[in-house]
Structure 1
Amino acid sequence: MNADVNPQEQGLRIGTAPDSWGVWFPDDPQQVPWDRFLDEVVAAGYEWIELGPYGYLPTDPHQLADELGSRGLKLSAGTVFTGFHKGDDQWQRAWDQALAVAGLASQLGAEHLVVIPDLWRSDATSEVLESRTLTDEQWTKLGAGHDRLGKALLEEFGVKQQFHSHADSHIGTTREVNRFLDETDPRYTNLCLDTGHFAYYGGDNLRLVEERPDRIGYLHLKQVDPTLLFDVLKNDQPFAAAVADGIMIEPPYGVPDLAPIIEAVARIDPDIFAIVEQDMYGCAVDRPLPIATRTREHIFGCTHLARIS
Structure 2
Amino acid sequence: MGKVHIGTAPDSWGVWYADDPQQTPWSRFLDEVARAGYTRIELGPYGYLPTDPVQLKAELDRRGLTMTAGTTFEQLHRPDGWEATWRDVAATAQLTAAMGAKHLVVMPSMWRGANGEVVEDRLDHEGQARHGRQVTELGRRVAEEFGLRTQYHPHADGHVDTQDTVERFLEETDPEYVNLCLDTGHISYCGGDNLDLIRRYPDRIGYVHLKQVDPKILAEVEGLSFDEAVSRGVMCEPPYGVPELPPLLDALAALDAELSAIVEQDMYPCSPDVPLPIAERTLAYLRSHGGGESS
Q: Which TM-score tier does this pair reach, normalised by the shorter chain?
A: over 0.9
1:145 counterpart residue number: 134
Structure 2: gaps (5+ residues): none
2:40 counterpart residue number: 48
1:101 counterpart residue number: 92
Find out whether 1:128 has 2:121 as its counterpart. Answer: no
* Partners of 2:129 and 2:2 in 1: CA distance: 38
Runs in 1 of length 4+ with deviation above 3 angstroms? none
Aligned residue runs from structure 1 range 66-215, under 5 A: 66-87=58-79, 89-123=80-114, 125-131=115-121, 133-215=122-204
The normalised TM-score by structure 1 is: 0.93
* Partners of 2:164 and 2:118 in 1: CA distance: 22
Contact 2:2–2:255 (CA under 8 A) maintained in structure 1: no
Give the CA deviation at 1:270: 4.1
Structure 1: gaps (5+ residues): 1-8
1:307 counterpart residue number: 293
Identical aligned residues as a percent: 54
Give the CA deviation at 1:122: 2.3
Contact 1:86–1:138 (CA under 8 A) maintained in structure 2: no
* Partners of 1:66 and 1:256 in 2: CA distance: 37
* Partners of 1:100 and 1:70 in 2: CA distance: 24
1:246 counterpart residue number: 233
Contact 1:221–1:277 (CA under 8 A) maintained in structure 2: yes
Contact 1:10–1:306 (CA under 8 A) maintained in structure 2: no
What is the RMSD computed on CA atoms of the aligned residues?
Answer: 1.2
Contact 2:214–2:236 (CA under 8 A) maintained in structure 1: yes
The normalised TM-score by structure 2 is: 0.97
* Partners of 2:89 and 2:256 in 1: CA distance: 26
* Partners of 2:269 and 2:89 in 1: CA distance: 27
Find out whether 1:298 has 2:290 as its counterpart. Answer: no
Give the CA deviation at 1:127: 4.0
Give the CA deviation at 1:128: 2.7
Give the CA deviation at 1:237: 0.9
Contact 1:164–1:191 (CA under 8 A) maintained in structure 2: yes
* Partners of 1:90 and 1:262 in 2: CA distance: 36
* Partners of 1:10 and 1:112 in 2: CA distance: 18
